[in-house]
Structure 1
Amino acid sequence: MPARPPAVTRAKDGTVQIAGPFAGPASTRAVLDVAGAVLTWPVLDPTGLPAAEIHDVGQAQQWLWAVYGERVAAAVDAVASGAPEAAAAVASGAPEAAAGLMPAEQPTALAESAARLAFVHWAARWWPASHLDGIPALEPGALGLELAALTHECQQLLDEAGEVEGRELLEEHLPALAPLIRWRQSGAAPRRLDRVLRLIDDAADGLGLDGEALGRLRSALEQADGRVGTPLDLADLFVRQREFALAAGSAHPATGRVIARGSGTNDWCRYPPGFVDAAEDAVSWTVHALGAGRWIKVEVVAGGTAPVGGVRPAAEVSVERVNLAAEVHVDAGPPVRVPLARRDDVWTGRADLDIRASTTPSVEVGVLLPGFDPGPGADDRAAREAVRDLARRRLGEAAAPHDGEAAQSGPLLAEIVAAAVEEDF
């Protein structure tokens, strides 16, 4: 018997929901803003079709049928108009579906492209790049161009803001075209690369963009794949910043005696991607005593990448002009904010603490970016480890041959590059 179409319901606030919201922390959900709605996929356990929260049914009708099929699109209209009984009958396909005469629609090409676009947005925000954990960062140019290509491919889903974002993405990442063109010419590139490059060419043509980089692209696309056929080392082709200095301790001798030390909480939700190494033990602290005085030193291993363009932060903040901070709680007391400054590949900071000389303090430390931080939530350590496992698994798959992969599937281009250079990471 075919699978039942997703449920269509109306929330108390008037929004129409398809399949209901997926649970779990933000780092485990791929989210895509589309015309009139927000689509969500679970990253750790993909389910095919996304959940949707529709706030403008009229706008959403431009893509609903192409993602979910005509039956679900009709159900959304029925629920929005206040006829849930009719919607239930339309969504279930009864009695025809029960008789096997009207099977539920399968994921469409647009749904598959949208899922990939949402995953690229997720990877740009949540990929757990970590020198300490041995998870290389994704090549930002390859990631940005695939994001631009998919944005163009999914333009039926987008409103005007999304279309503007697509143009900005393309213009920002055009300098990264050169290594992708050389990769295609080598004859060792996945089929997906050709699809991405042709989408970029089509998007640029539609936007009236031109220039040297696009001229080289159009010339290359006129040639057959792998015409040059020269050997290629992706580690040499993609210029990356991979030099990390691990913080093995304080750069200067500590003053006074150490009375407590430990690791802090590294909650990725509280700062943009690329600022901090994603390892669970990237945040460390030491409490020192000198006479009756007590002070804490916090060290945080810095990340090695900058945020990828097109990633919308949790709050509007200019991340270039502010520094990270540590939030310190002593004996469950009110937080002490410790400004952090970056020195080489370590964020460091210190602050005096009000601790009685006769006690050993209980200390909790987290790292955040003021103005970006949504506030501390539950400790999602298990979810973060699941995301690391996902990244390792995908890198393993990206390292395997992919000559015969379908153009619509397979690892991201940036994942293939990361897997290729992992030994040098």
Structure 2
Amino acid sequence: MPERRCAVTRAEDGTVRIAGPSIGPAFTQTVLEVTGAVLTWPVLGPTGLPAAEIHDVGQAQQWLWAVYGERAAAAVDAVASGTPAAELTLPERPTALAEGAARLALGHWAARWWPTSYLDGIPALEPDLLGLELAALTHECQQLLEGSEELEGRELLEEHQAALAPLIRWRQSAAPPRQLDRVLRLTDDAADNAGLDGEALRRLRSALDQDHRPTATPLDLAELFLQHREFSLAAGALHTASGRVIARGSGSNDWCRYPPGFVDAAENAVSWTAYALGADRRIEVEVVAGIAAPVGGAHLAAEVHVDGGPPNRVPLARRDDVWTGRVDLDIPASTTPSMEVGILLPGFDPGPGADDRAAREAVRALARHRLGVASAPHDSEAAHPEPFLAEIVAAAAMEEDF
């Protein structure tokens, strides 16, 4: 079996690390909080065994051996007790628990960072469908989790039961995906373990107790699951007819600066135009909205830098499927300004990061690849990792809508 070398080190604060910390923007990492530690995998590279930051070695011993092997568990204990850093040889092929944990982390990543974009032709993942599979995976990985994460699995079950009825119909269709029956049985086990009941769960248990007799009638997955969202793309209505255009361009679309779904994930979703109105100067910003609607009075803002100067905030209002806003700027009439425009949600924004355009494009390429795998015939050799049920449905919708 192929093997790789792995360092086990201890930081000054007592944290024990397996391998090095992940490097790159948040949307290029999958992260899973487990008992006594945080596990991290790269989104854009081979998964394999995760990096780990272990803050409670005693608690983590309940799963370390099942993810990394007994030698690694012993090395972590020794390093935590003061032994110098150790180097281990770990098998490249992950254990069943490590594979389940990697898939659970990837599912949480998809719920937060999936690059939904009308402009780029990347459809959204149906939230109830993804949430229910995450609940099933949480139950499958319960050896790794403590009380708070197990409670999260229960909450996922309670929140996303609307997906159960269409999933049962899908299971009875002519060609259900391989993992569907396993997801439904894990869901049933998780609900039973959590003491949940209700009409949807009783129907699930009844369906699982019956012989699986597929029908010959094919299903329209997009119609079965998806709530179609129309994009009017009404950008352009704010242009000032009496103004003279002095500059225009595209702004940056940093996914880390606003909640998921507020903005179309395309790189060119942010555009701006600067006008001259006599001696005055004005900038108008337009942003293609995403699938999520703001709640509680939340509004995006544009951050405008003129010639490298301090930021000007432009409040944005959502109109149909476009965020729009304008502000007057103090720009000398004799100059053509250099403009930088970014989008953020005040109070959420962690601040501007590095220019991660290449990483964002790599994530879009990954999403397209996964959708391509998800659209393949179910009886073909599946690529690893296996697509989520929500990706299979999104791929079917993409064939119809894009």
Settle same-fold status: TM greater than 0.5. Answer: yes
2: distance between equivalents of 1:338 and 1:225? 57
Instruction: Quote the residue 1:311 is aligned against.
Output: none
How far apart are the structure 1 equivalents of 2:31 and 2:379?
29
Q: CA deviation at 1:246?
A: 1.9
Output the CA distance in 2 between the equivalents of 1:349 and 1:248.
11
**How do 1:202-217 and structure 2 match up within 5 A?**
202-217=189-204
| C-alpha RMSD over aligned residues | 2.0
Alignment of 1:72-91 (within 5 A): 72-84=72-84, 87-88=86-87, 91=88
1:350 paired to 2:363: no
Instruction: Give the match for residue 23 of structure 1.
Output: 23
Superposed displacement of residue 299, structure 1: 0.5
Q: Is the 8 A contact 1:144 1:169 kept in 2?
A: yes
What code does the residue aligned with 2:344 have? L
Question: What amino acid is aligned across from residue 16 of structure 2 in structure 1?
Answer: V
- Unaligned 5+ residue runs, structure 1? 93-102, 307-317
Is the 1:276–1:282 contact (alpha carbons within 8 Å) kept by the matching residues of 2?
yes
Structure 2: how far apart are the matches of 1:407 and 1:263? 36
Deviation at 1:294, TM superposition (A): 1.2
Q: Please give the alpha-carbon distance, in whole angstroms, between the structure 2 residues aligned to 1:364 and 1:399.
A: 39
Written as runs of structure 1 = structure 2, the 5 A alignment for 1:249-264 is 249-251=236-238, 253-264=240-251
Aligned-pair distance for 1:51? Answer: 0.4
CA distance in 1, matches of 2:226, 2:143: 34
Identity %: 77
Match of 1:50 in 2: 50
Equivalent position of 1:142 in the other structure: 129
Q: Secondary structure at the match of 2:3?
A: coil
* Counterpart amino acid of residue 258 in structure 1: V
Q: 1:203 to 1:284 in 2, by over 3 A?
A: same
Deviation at 1:230, TM superposition (A): 2.6
1:365-404 equivalences in 2 (<5 Å)? 365-403=341-379
Find the residue that maps to 1:199 and give its secondary structure.
helix
Aligned equivalent of 1:120, options 82, 107, 112: 107
Match of 1:310 in 2: none
* Matching of residues 148-297 of structure 1 within 5 Å: 148-251=135-238, 253-297=240-284
Give the alignment's TM-score, normalised by structure 1.
0.90
Which amino acid in the other structure matches residue 354 of structure 2? A
Secondary structure at 2:222 match in 1? helix
- CA separation of 1:204/1:305 partners in 2, compared to 1, >3 Å: closer, same or farther? same
1:184–1:226 CA contact under 8 A, matched in 2: no
Matched, 1:327 2:314: no
Equivalent-residue separation in structure 2 for 1:350 and 1:64 (angstroms): 54
How many Å separate the matches in 2 of 1:287 and 1:367?
17
The equivalent residue for 1:336 is 312
Runs of 4+ residues over 3 Å off in structure 1: 103-106, 224-229, 251-255, 318-321, 403-409
Other structure's SS at 1:262 match = strand
Counterparts of 2:258 and 2:202 in 1: how far apart (Å)? 38
Determine helix, strand or coil for the equivalent of 2:332.
coil
How far did residue 28 of structure 1 move? 0.9
Cα distance, 1:407–1:223 mapped onto 2, change above 3 Å: farther
Change (3 A) 1:105 1:128: closer
Task: Report the Cα offset of residue 403 of structure 1.
Answer: 3.4
* SS state at 1:191 partner: coil
- CA contact under 8 A between 1:192 and 1:409: conserved in structure 2? no
User: In 2, Cα distance between the equivalents of 1:122 and 1:375?
Assistant: 21
Whether 2:11 is the aligned partner of 1:11: answer: yes
The secondary structure found in structure 2 opposite 1:300 is strand
Q: How many residues align?
A: 401
* CA contact 1:5–1:105 (8 Å) conserved in 2: no
Does 1 or 2 have the higher relative contact order (CA < 8 Å, sep 6+)?
Answer: 1
Q: 1:288 to 1:197 in 2, by over 3 A?
A: same
Per-residue CA deviations over 1:66-88 (Å, capped at 9, x if unaligned) read 11111101110010000126x44
Distance in 2, matches of 1:383 and 1:47, equals 17
3-state SS, counterpart of residue 287 of structure 1: strand
Kept in 1: contact 2:235–2:288 (CA 8 A): no
The two structures have a TM-score, normalised by structure 2, of 0.95
Q: Counterparts of 2:174 and 2:277 in 1: how far apart (Å)? A: 64
Separation (CA, whole Å) in 2 of partners of 1:114 and 1:337: 41
What CA distance in whole angstroms lies between the structure 2 residues aligned with 1:188 and 1:251?
49
| Contact 1:5-1:72 at 8 Å conserved across structures | no
Q: Is the 8 A contact 1:195 1:407 kept in 2?
A: no
Amino acid at match of 2:232: A
Using the alignment, how far apart are the partners of 2:213 and 2:235 within structure 1?
Answer: 46
